[in-house]
Structure 1
Amino acid sequence: MIVCPNCTHQNPDGAVQCEACYTPLPATMGCPNCGSTVQVDASFCGQCGFNLSAIGTQAASSAVQPPPPVPVSSPSGVPSLIPPDPLVPPDPIVGVPPVPNSIAASAAPSPDVPVPPPPVPVTKQPVAPSEGGAAPAQPRAAGPSTQLQQAKVQLLHVQTNTPVELPQSLSVIHIGKPNDRIPPDVDVSGFPDSEIVSRIHADIRVEGDSFYIEDVGSSNGTYINNAPLPMGNRHRLRHGDRVALGKGDKVTFLFQLS
């Protein structure tokens, strides 16, 4: 059975979308190392820690490369092109004949007629504001562009009221305790009752502006709003969701967006 990450409806194996809310269901596969059910896009197996991304790398390297294109040779027997005729330079421009003296004399101004002086350029002076009136509006200088602030995402530890900010540079955020295989991005070893949390417990995946959480094979399970999250399924986190790592609601976080 595949549990819908949106409404927790149980769907039959092989289903593509949820029968209740029509949400696309995550595709799963078997781990080639231990046979546990994991998602197709998972990087590591939550049960045995097997590196699943190495399978895609080997498959990509073994893909058959397409054959290089065969050069097409020009057919023989094609006659060579006839070179074009050389360009003929244009004829030189003949000079303009001089203007007769009679026409030039008639066009010249008479000495008895006064010539008006050239116009004096007028410079606009700034207009002073009238008494009791407002000054003319001046163009406002363009200021620096406003920078968009990124949304702050954090997990608030309920038992100690301690916020844990999630890193914004990662697409997969590992939650657990220090280990030799997958170091956690969110270390919960310093919180009370952290012994119920597995070293490799859960992952939060970032896809655009959405956040999904999935259990990667923990010993005591992961609970979303007091409901168990089956291993291999994922749940889309919303502001205020309650995430409990392990049974008994002893290590609990609230997912917050601000």
Structure 2
Amino acid sequence: MIVCPNCNHQNPEGATQCESCYTPLPTTTSCPNCGATVQADASFCGQCGYNLLPTPEGEENQNPDLIPTVVPPLPDLVFPDPIPDEEVATVASNPNSAVNLQKSTPDPSLASPQPDPDPVQPPTQSTVPPQPDPIFPSPPPVANVGTPATQLQQQTAKLVHVQSQTLLEIPQNLPVIHIGKPNDLVPPDIDVSGFANAEIVSRTHANIRPEGDAYYIEDVGSSNGTYINNIPLPKGNRHRLRPGDRIALGKGDMVSFIFQLS
């Protein structure tokens, strides 16, 4: 079945136009690894996580996560021209040249030692007894009437599972947080396999990317899509999450989360 992204009507396989609202339907194809139905422009299979991107001819995609890097050729080494014999002879015959001046400068370490200066006589002790330092009363302590130092608190992002009211804290210090189910290609940072109706969630379903104090969510080509506040999120588009946003993984709003900041 093909779900219409406009009205969520279930259309038969091979349909190109929604039977209910006549919206053009996305083209689908079969995963070459597991045979599951996926969108033609998907990057990964939502069931087995297989890389659907084409590889160059004659090359085998050993690791689909790595992007080949083209190393530019290094330029040839350039050696300077040797100094002509005429210039060497000119420098040797010139008494004011830097080479001759360096040779004519005497070495300070070979100079004759200088006599030591007159020894310093130790000062004579005074017969006047030392006077005690004057004692001044210490000022009373001044009370700290300033404002206390402000402590910066880092915001913590959380997801609340609507169906079970389970609280999931979004991991910090990660550039990308993967949402899905366990697989060998992209292990999830937020595993939803233990929730009810998790079969509609793809193994690599969506990603959350923190940037500064903002959080963005994007769908990575899941089979049943990602919905933000009951609106489908197209693949390749990002949505900035705000407190209270409802995130549904798959159709039917059966696996949903509420985004929170604290």
Q: Normalized against structure 1, the TM-score is what?
A: 0.59
Gaps of 5+ in 2: 1-31, 33-37, 52-62, 93-98, 119-125
Alignment CA distance shift 1:117-1:247 (3 Å)? same
- Amino acid across the alignment from 1:213: I
- Amino acid across the alignment from 1:71: F
Alignment CA distance shift 1:137-1:119 (3 Å)? farther
Report the 3-state secondary structure (helix = DSSP H, G, I; strand = E; otherwise coil) of the residue aligned with 1:248: helix
Calculate percent identity across the aligned residue pairs.
47
| Equivalent position to 1:159, from 157, 163, 167 | 163
**Which residue is equivalent to 1:86?**
105
Across the two proteins, how many residue pairs are aligned to each other?
186
How far does residue 162 in structure 1 lie from its aligned partner after superposition? 1.3
**Which residue is equivalent to 2:239?**
235
How far does residue 205 in structure 1 lie from its aligned partner after superposition? 1.8
Alignment CA distance shift 1:49-1:257 (3 Å)? farther
**Which residue is equivalent to 2:192?**
188
How far does residue 164 in structure 1 lie from its aligned partner after superposition? 0.4
**Which residue is equivalent to 1:64?**
72
**Which residue is equivalent to 2:44?**
45
Is contact 1:242-1:255 (8 Å) kept? yes
The aligned runs of 1:1-40 (5 Å cut-off) are 36-37=40-41
- Cα offsets for 1:37-77 (capped at 9, x unmatched): 46xxxxx63655326542x2x2x2x3223225323244223
- Cα offsets for 1:75-121 (capped at 9, x unmatched): 2232235512335979x89x99xxxxxxxxxxxxxxxxxxx974744
Separation (CA, whole Å) in 2 of partners of 1:73 and 1:154:
68
- Cα offsets for 1:139-175 (capped at 9, x unmatched): 99xxxx9985432111111222211011113211111
Alignment CA distance shift 1:176-1:35 (3 Å)? closer
Is contact 1:46-1:216 (8 Å) kept? no
The aligned runs of 1:120-139 (5 Å cut-off) are 120-125=130-135, 127=137, 136-137=140-141
Report the 3-state secondary structure (helix = DSSP H, G, I; strand = E; otherwise coil) of the residue aligned with 1:181: coil
Report the 3-state secondary structure (helix = DSSP H, G, I; strand = E; otherwise coil) of the residue aligned with 2:174: coil
Report the 3-state secondary structure (helix = DSSP H, G, I; strand = E; otherwise coil) of the residue aligned with 1:83: helix
Alignment CA distance shift 1:215-1:139 (3 Å)? same
- Cα offsets for 1:157-213 (capped at 9, x unmatched): 122221101111321111111223222111111112222212221111223333211
Alignment CA distance shift 1:137-1:121 (3 Å)? farther
Separation (CA, whole Å) in 2 of partners of 1:46 and 1:149:
40
- Amino acid across the alignment from 1:188: V
